[in-house]
């Protein structure tokens, strides 16, 4: 397997990168300091309250503040899984039609504790433990949505939802159309996915590429506690079926979020770091690999613009397009597989809409088209690392 991976390079890319015979340093999201950002709130009657980041040049993440200074700031600190739970609980309080179903979501509190305490508060009918039967309980959720409820389906692992692919594709995505508009399917399908810590091939899948071609479904990926809560609330309120991707390695990220209620747009990207030289488009866990690389790039004199696309379907081409028109160079960084992945679709969309503004071919760094190995060292070789991002930007900006 090692020889196979080395023959492909560290991870798939559309341009040659640096010498892959050199082992890249391991990068761990858990080794990052607590992510901090200064922000202001903008009120909107349509989108609710949203935050625009204020980025400090030459700084990617700040060290954890002392308790006294942290306590003086408005809002409250939550881990990402707690932010998801808070958003879910607020919507269950607001709307009695909202219910949750899945394996161990009840008194156990979910495999990553997103639903902890909800069964005791709302009862077993609104927080329903199901058998190990993904196709069945996903179909049950779709039927519940047709009759007026607003169900949330939790997959213990997103890979398990492949067992429910027929329900998600043929029913969840298409029933509004095939019924002639008689039914809406306000369903949220959510759960952990992505490459974790030696979880093996079956538990390390990225299913964005599987679901993106299903008509009628929206897809979003959260990456911070702030947007996790805001996207959860927006997905629950949407009349469309929404797939919410959560990364298994991001659940313990901590951030201060507002005390007041806010709801984010399901179709809006986030400007993480303004810049002038190159547009870097990313999402989910790769946001942190990109920001790690951005620190190195800034020290080398580059000024990258980093956008967390968040909305995987549809793309926010307004935000993306404005950035392309400014920088004229695009690097896409994803954890999804290269063949048929989000990066491939994003590349096509940019070429179709903004080709005349590009000064160089779009570069896409993706995971390799191989099963994710169990061995930790091999696992790292299949996923894009910060050093590759630095090398790609340097080549793009030559």
Instruction: Please tell me the predicted confidence (pLDDT) of residue 63.
Output: 36
Report how far residue 321's alpha carbon sits from residue 332's, in angstroms, rounded to the nearest whole number.
14
Domain ranges for the chain, please list them. 2-31+271-396, 76-257
pLDDT tens digits for the chain (398 residues)?
434 333 333 444 443 333 333 333 333 333 333 333 333 333 333 333 333 333 322 223 333 445 445 556 789 999 999 999 999 999 999 999 999 999 999 999 998 999 999 999 999 999 999 999 999 999 999 999 999 999 999 999 888 999 999 999 999 999 999 999 999 999 999 999 988 888 888 888 888 988 999 999 999 999 999 999 999 999 999 999 999 999 999 999 999 999 999 999 999 999 999 999 999 999 999 999 999 999 999 999 999 999 999 999 999 999 999 999 999 999 999 999 889 899 999 999 999 999 999 999 999 999 988 888 888 888 888 899 999 999 999 999 98
At residue 199, the pLDDT reads 84
Closest CA to 263 of 109, 94, 379, 134: 94
pTM tops 0.85, yes or no: no
- Residue 71's pLDDT is what? 55
Q: 121 CB contacts (<8 Å, ≥6 apart)?
A: 89
pLDDT at position 224 = 97
Collapse the DSSP code of 121 into the 3-class scheme (helix H, G, I; strand E, B; otherwise coil) and give the result.
Answer: helix
> What's the confidence (pLDDT) of residue 53?
36
Select which of 86, 91, 134, 270 is catalytic. 134
Coarse DSSP helix, strand, coil percentages of the chain, rounded to the nearest 5 percent: 35, 20, 45
In angstroms, rounded to a whole number, what is the distance separating the alpha carbons of residues 296 and 358? Answer: 24
Is 134 an active-site residue? yes
Active site (annotated) includes residue 334: no
Domain 2-31+271-396 matching CATH 3.40.50.920: the answer reads yes
Q: Do 211 and 218 meet the contact criterion of CB atoms below 8 Å apart? A: no
Fold assignment, 76-257: Rossmann fold (3.40.50)
Give the number of residues written for the chain: 398
Check for a shared fold between 2-31+271-396 and 76-257. Answer: yes
Q: What is the pLDDT of residue 23?
A: 34
Q: Which of 176, 203, 277, 289 is an active site residue?
A: 203
Q: Is 174 exposed, middle or buried (0-12, 13-18, 19+ CB in 10 A)?
A: middle
Q: Distance (Å, rounded) from C-alpha 131 to C-alpha 138?
A: 11
pLDDT at 49: 39
d(CA 365, CA 53) in angstroms, rounded, equals 25
């Amino acid at each position: 397997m090692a020889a196979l991976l080395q023959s492909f390079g560290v991870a798939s890319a559309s341009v040659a990168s640096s010498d892959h015979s050199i082992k890249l340093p391991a990068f761990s999201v858990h080794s990052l300091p607590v992510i901090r950002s200064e922000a202001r709130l903008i009120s909107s009657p349509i989108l609710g309250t949203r935050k625009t980041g204020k980025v400090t040049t030459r700084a990617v993440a700040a060290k954890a503040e002392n308790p006294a200074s942290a306590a003086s700031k408005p809002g409250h600190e939550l881990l990402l899984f707690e932010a998801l739970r808070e958003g879910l609980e607020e919507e269950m309080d607001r709307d009695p039609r909202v219910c949750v179903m899945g394996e161990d979501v009840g008194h156990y509190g979910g495999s990553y504790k997103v639903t902890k305490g909800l069964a005791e508060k709302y009862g077993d009918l609104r927080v329903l433990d199901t058998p190990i039967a993904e196709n069945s309980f996903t179909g049950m959720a779709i039927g519940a949505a047709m009759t007026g409820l607003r169900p949330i389906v939790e997959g213990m692992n997103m890979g398990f939802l492949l067992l429910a692919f027929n329900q998600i594709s043929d029913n969840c995505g298409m029933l509004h159309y095939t019924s002639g508009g008689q039914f809406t399917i306000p369903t949220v399908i959510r759960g952990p996915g992505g490459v974790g810590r030696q979880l093996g091939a079956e538990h390390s899948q990225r299913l964005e590429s599987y679901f993106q071609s299903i008509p009628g479904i929206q897809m979003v990926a959260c990456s911070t506690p702030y947007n996790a809560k805001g996207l959860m609330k927006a997905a629950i309120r949407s009349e469309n079926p929404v797939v919410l991707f959560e990364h298994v390695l991001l659940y313990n990220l901590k951030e201060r979020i507002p005390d007041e209620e806010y709801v984010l747009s399901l179709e809006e990207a986030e400007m993480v770091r303004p810049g002038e030289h190159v547009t870097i488009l990313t999402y989910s866990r790769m946001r942190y690999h990109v920001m790690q690389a951005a620190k190195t790039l800034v020290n080398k004199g580059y000024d990258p613009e980093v956008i967390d696309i968040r909305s995987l379907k549809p793309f926010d081409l307004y935000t993306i397009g404005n950035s392309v028109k400014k920088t004229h160079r695009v690097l896409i960084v994803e954890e999804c597989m290269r063949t048929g992945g989000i990066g491939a679709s994003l590349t096509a969309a940019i070429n179709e809409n903004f080709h005349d503004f590009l000064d160089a071919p779009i570069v896409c760094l993706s995971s390799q088209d191989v099963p994710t190995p169990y061995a930790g060292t091999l696992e790292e070789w299949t996923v894009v690392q910060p050093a590759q991002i630095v090398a790609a930007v340097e080549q793009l900006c030559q």
